[in-house]
Structure 1
Amino acid sequence: VRTVPGTPLRLPVTGGDGGNPFDSVTPVPSFYASAQLTDRLWLGLGVNAPFGLKLEYDDDFFGRYDSLYTDLKTYNIQPSAAYKLTDRLSIGGGVDVQYVKAELTNALPQLSPLATSDGFARLKGDDWSIGWNAGLFYTSGDTNWGVHYRSGITHKLAGTQSVSGLLGPIATGNGDFAATASLALPDIVTVSMMHRLTPNLRAMLTAKWYNWSKFKGIAVTTAAGTSNKELDYRDSYSFSAGGEYDVSPRLTLRAGTMFDRTPTNPQHLTTRVPDGDRVWLSAGATYNISPAAALNIGYAHTFVDKARIVRPDSYYPAPATVTATTITDTTGNADQVAASVTLRF
């Protein structure tokens, strides 16, 4: 529904359900390498994409004033080192060099509900920033423990906000404007344990905490001022349990489950991130082709809880303010397939 300036009217916004906003296949590449320099020192390099989101709704989506297109990509380059202090205790750490690129679009309401076309807004920006991480590993023989901390990284994206198609008195808002926006990504603490039950069978537990409460919203600053889309994320956590079994010297099978609490705030849900608490079921295998090569495969199915979105957003200064409220229910699930090759030199 939307309001009409100068009247008490609240009118429905026409349109479709937006279709399936997720791509059927989204590749997420990664690369890791390590080298042992001495009997106590290792160096490593990891390249991955730790955070990302991509959704695209149909142009006539009834929630189009909230969102149409969202594309967030992060790429993380992590050189690291580890040192074996004793036969039981090792330490490690590294630097995270991170690049982020984002593009967000949404429709804009006209002052008159009788207008046959909407306005349109597009925000694009990118940034490089740096963080760090450190960890401890301890083994008592049959049981291994690990603790890891990854620092949060706050990006300040710089780019352009483009507005077009606005009519009447608000047409002065059309144009391309230099813009900046902050993106606060969370600190992450991980605690893991592996216990060897038999020579061939191992059990594993992992708990993670994410400092998502530092992410307050999408605040866009231009020469005209700052607009804010309030999100107020909450700290989140996950718990996982699994096991792996060596069927033979060549073949290892594994399976597990995880509960993953969403960081989204029920009071500020948006169709940009139609998220809920998640439960994962996964299975995988490693096959040693030779002493120098192994093939790894994995599959996970994610069940996402149903969530209720009631999202009011206001546009334009008074007395031309239009408030559009998106009301919808969302739920879903996802399948993930992973494959990698391990090479030893």
Structure 2
Amino acid sequence: MKCLIPIYITGAAGQRRSANSLLWEWGKAVKVITKGLCATGLLSGALLGGAADVWAAGLGIDEMSVRRLGDAFSGGAAESTDASVVWYNPAALTHLNKAQLSAGAIAIPHDTRFKGEVNLVQDEEAIHPVTGRNKHWTGTELVPDVYVALPLTEQLWFGAGMNSPWGSGSTFNKQWLGRYQSVESRLLTVNLLTVLGWKISDEWSIGGGLVTQYADGVMKKSVLLGAPDPANDGHFKGQGDNVAVGWTAGVHYQPLPDWQFGVHYRSAIRHTLKGHMEIDVPEAVTLASSEKVKADLGLKIPETFSLSAAHQLNEDWTIKADATWTRWDCIDELRFHPKTYGQVFTQDEVQVMDWSNTWRFAIGAEYRLTPSWLLRAGIAKDNTPIPNHTATLDFAINDYRALSLGATWELNEDLAIDMAVQHTWTTTLHITENANTPDEDVVVRAQGRLINRVNSIGAGLRWRF
């Protein structure tokens, strides 16, 4: 999904993140995974005096293959055209004709505007406005992927890959209007995939393997400790990382040379996220003191189930479709547990999520223009699992509709370049988010509209050997 838990990445006010930050995290993740450590990290945070907001992100990113981006990710579990089937359906490995290496990168530029206001609210009445800046922010995220497929025998194939299927990133200025809701929220995951595909017969293949997932999370927000003045604000920070393992399995069926069907399941991944949370209080403020404690957060990355089909109409045209179900209702709440208690962090903090299961639908087509050029296109529809009453400024995800265009330039029999773009229709989400204050009768309420514009553009290289 995109900006969903299946979705596009949301931007942030005063964004300063480099597009290379994801590549840097990849290197960090590789070091962790190759040492045999395993798990994902996420971060949660609480505010003052037991009245707290907990944050987490589990954003599903569609952009796991440049070739698939070009047809809106339709037919992914059915088509056996490149090594990205390591991710989409390992059973389809057995229908590749040669060993193959596939690598690509997709840039996701985004533009977000907040049209609204933030006030201190008591008894549902605004009693004081919060001032700030940066209601408009832009940024670009870079999502790389790499896959390799190798034949072990005529019937047995091995596949491996790395990608980043879950993540979010927003970095706001500490003086921005919604600083009490969020200053920074970031989750990055990196998957290491190891799979096998086995051809049972000319028509049937099965496949499966392990998904080792690393994740790193950070959450920051300002804390109101008096008048809404950035100079007097406290600053909350939480961070952590960890690792966990899931599994994947699929079936591929090709009853005729021009028909392919695929079924693919990816398991949920359970995490116990270990890290810390801290609050930094200015020396001039006597209402609270600085504090740092260790903390755990339980999180379940949801399972997914895909059905795909692809049909070659003639030598030039192929049509395809995909339906993917994601079990988001496993995320009903987030419960943050401090390992030690202090003056500020005194109890478990709970955020109600109430997410719902979703289906993503996509259809696409491919046309061979010349012996060396393939063109493709697709459309997709994906609904958000997040209800309006639990949406937040740093994780406000609405339904999305997208149009994709792509092309492949086959330089020779073994080398090809993939290119693709996707345009997502502008989404508008009405949001009301409260942040707690030391006064239990007063909240900081952000209320207005979030307008998101997102596109994706990618390029990749495929080498058969």
TM-score (norm 2): 0.69
Residue type at the aligned position of 2:161: G
The counterpart of 1:2, out of the listed 108, 111, 120, is: 120
Residues 225 and 437 in structure 2, CA contact (< 8 A), matched pair in contact too: no
Residues 269 and 300 in structure 2, CA contact (< 8 A), matched pair in contact too: yes
Q: Which has the higher strand share?
A: 1
Aligned position for 2:172: 57
Partner Cα separation in structure 2 for residue 254 and residue 46 of structure 1: 24
Aligned position for 2:313: 197
Partner Cα separation in structure 1 for residue 430 and residue 275 of structure 2: 32
The counterpart of 1:78, out of the listed 190, 193, 212, is: 193
Q: Deviations over 1:125-158 (max 9, x none)?
A: 0110000010011112221110100011122211
Q: Which has the higher helix share?
A: 2
The counterpart of 2:128, out of the listed 4, 7, 11, is: 11
Percent sequence identity is 27
Distance 1:329 1:39, change over 3 A: same
Stretch moving more, 214-223 or 249-258: 214-223
Q: CA deviation at 1:19?
A: 3.0
Establish whether residue 336 from structure 1 lines up as the match of residue 453 from structure 2. Answer: no
Secondary structure at the aligned position of 2:244 is classed as strand
Stretch moving more, 250-259 or 216-225: 216-225
Structure 2: give runs of 5+ residues left out of the alignment.
1-118, 342-346
Distance 1:170 1:4, change over 3 A: farther
Aligned position for 1:129: 244
Secondary structure at the aligned position of 1:213 is classed as helix
Distance 1:304 1:148, change over 3 A: farther
Runs of 4 or more off by more than 6 Å in structure 1? Answer: none
Residues 19 and 58 in structure 1, CA contact (< 8 A), matched pair in contact too: no
Partner Cα separation in structure 2 for residue 56 and residue 218 of structure 1: 22
Q: How does 1:152-171 map to 2 (within 5 A)?
A: 152-165=268-281, 170-171=287-288
Residues 109 and 322 in structure 1, CA contact (< 8 A), matched pair in contact too: no
Establish whether residue 206 from structure 1 lines up as the match of residue 322 from structure 2. Answer: yes
Residue type at the aligned position of 1:247: L
Distance 1:60 1:84, change over 3 A: same
Secondary structure at the aligned position of 2:384 is classed as coil
Partner Cα separation in structure 2 for residue 300 and residue 212 of structure 1: 25
Distance 1:162 1:291, change over 3 A: same
Establish whether residue 89 from structure 1 lines up as the match of residue 204 from structure 2. Answer: yes
Aligned position for 1:40: 155
The counterpart of 1:309, out of the listed 431, 445, 463, is: 431
Residues 295 and 342 in structure 1, CA contact (< 8 A), matched pair in contact too: yes
Would you say how many aligned residue pairs link Structure 1 and Structure 2?
339
Q: Deviations over 1:198-239 (max 9, x none)?
A: 121000100111111212344322123212233322212210
Distance 1:321 1:179, change over 3 A: farther
CA RMSD of aligned residues (A): 2.1
Q: Deviations over 1:23-82 (max 9, x none)?
A: 2x2111111001111111111001100011111122222221111111110000010001
Stretch moving more, 301-310 or 158-167: 158-167
Residues 286 and 297 in structure 1, CA contact (< 8 A), matched pair in contact too: yes
Residues 426 and 451 in structure 2, CA contact (< 8 A), matched pair in contact too: yes
Stretch moving more, 132-141 or 301-310: 301-310
Partner Cα separation in structure 2 for residue 276 and residue 331 of structure 1: 10
Residues 293 and 343 in structure 1, CA contact (< 8 A), matched pair in contact too: yes
Partner Cα separation in structure 2 for residue 135 and residue 199 of structure 1: 28
Partner Cα separation in structure 2 for residue 91 and residue 215 of structure 1: 30
Secondary structure at the aligned position of 1:290 is classed as coil
Establish whether residue 146 from structure 1 lines up as the match of residue 262 from structure 2. Answer: yes
Stretch moving more, 113-122 or 259-268: 113-122
Higher relative contact order (CA 8 A, sep 6+): 2
Q: CA deviation at 1:112?
A: 4.5
Residues 276 and 331 in structure 1, CA contact (< 8 A), matched pair in contact too: no
Q: CA deviation at 1:17?
A: 4.2
Aligned position for 1:288: 410
Distance 1:270 1:114, change over 3 A: closer
Aligned position for 2:35: none
Secondary structure at the aligned position of 1:26 is classed as strand
Partner Cα separation in structure 2 for residue 313 and residue 40 of structure 1: 58
Distance 1:84 1:75, change over 3 A: same
Partner Cα separation in structure 2 for residue 114 and residue 200 of structure 1: 64
The counterpart of 1:98, out of the listed 213, 223, 227, is: 213
Partner Cα separation in structure 2 for residue 115 and residue 288 of structure 1: 56
TM-score (norm 1): 0.92
Stretch moving more, 189-198 or 106-115: 106-115
Stretch moving more, 112-121 or 185-194: 112-121
Partner Cα separation in structure 2 for residue 180 and residue 330 of structure 1: 31
